[in-house]
Amino acid sequence: MACAAPHASLDMTTPTISQRRYSGVSADERRAQRHERLLQAAYEVFGVHGYRLTTMRLICAQARLADRYFHEHFATVHECFKHVHDRTTMDVSMAVEEAIRSLPPDLLTRARGALQTFFEQIRQDPRRARILIQDASNSGLTAEDRVAQQYAFIVDLLRARFRQKYPALQGYPNIDLIISGCIGMVSHTTMLWIERGFDLPVETLIDHNLYAWTGLDQWLSSANATALQKTA
């Protein structure tokens, strides 16, 4: 009796874990969905409870995921916080960048627009304020790292504008040091504002930070004029 020939089109390859699909969703897609759920849950938990009181189980309970899925994406709660902080910082910095680029290329006009957007972003969501400002130091994140990683494009915009407006200044004063100081001043002012329950209008905060930019413009303009005279 002849044996039936095997079906020519039969694929005997076993699909990998990442290729298997359940309800039309691949394993990689489900993993990405869990990652997003964990980040959204962590934003809520960190924003409400704070860095020091947040635990893996609180985050997993908020995300409605088993604890094992947390370690699928994060080694520690601290690593999770860094991801949440980075995302939150990027959201705010993108809003600030959009405001800066929409304004005329005048230093003080752009500084005012950037300050207004930043303060409004902080006031709109107490969770954002806590993650971005209050708990950054509690978690051990350094201001230098945060500025370098997340505000680099704002620093680049300011640096380019300074060099355009004050072309005779070569190396002194140190523009990067000046920008870092101005950003630090805004961060400290924001911290006090948050701790006092947003007791002041945004416009008041803008005015009390903008004076530094106004004085800076006057100082650099004078230094630039002096440098031009020496080279004339």
pTM, entire model: 0.76
The predicted structure's pLDDT at residue 4 = 47
What is the Cα–Cα distance from 125 to 122, expressed in whole angstroms?
6
Q: Specify the CATH class of 81-224 in words.
A: mainly alpha
The predicted structure's pLDDT at residue 111 = 87
For residue 121, the SS3 value is: helix
Residue 223 tokens read as 């230094």
Where are the domains positioned within the chain? 24-74, 81-224
Measured CA angle at 151 (ends 186, 169), to 5 deg: 80
Burial class for 140, CB neighbours closer than 10 Å (0-12, 13-18, 19+): exposed
The predicted structure's pLDDT at residue 106 = 82
Per-residue pLDDT of the chain (232 residues; tens, 9 = 90+): 444 444 444 344 445 444 555 566 788 889 999 999 999 999 999 999 999 999 999 999 999 999 999 999 999 999 999 999 989 988 988 898 899 889 987 878 888 999 999 999 999 999 999 998 888 777 766 555 555 555 666 777 777 777 777 887 776 777 777 777 888 888 889 999 999 999 999 999 999 999 888 888 888 888 888 888 877 6
Architecture of domain 24-74: Orthogonal Bundle (1.10)
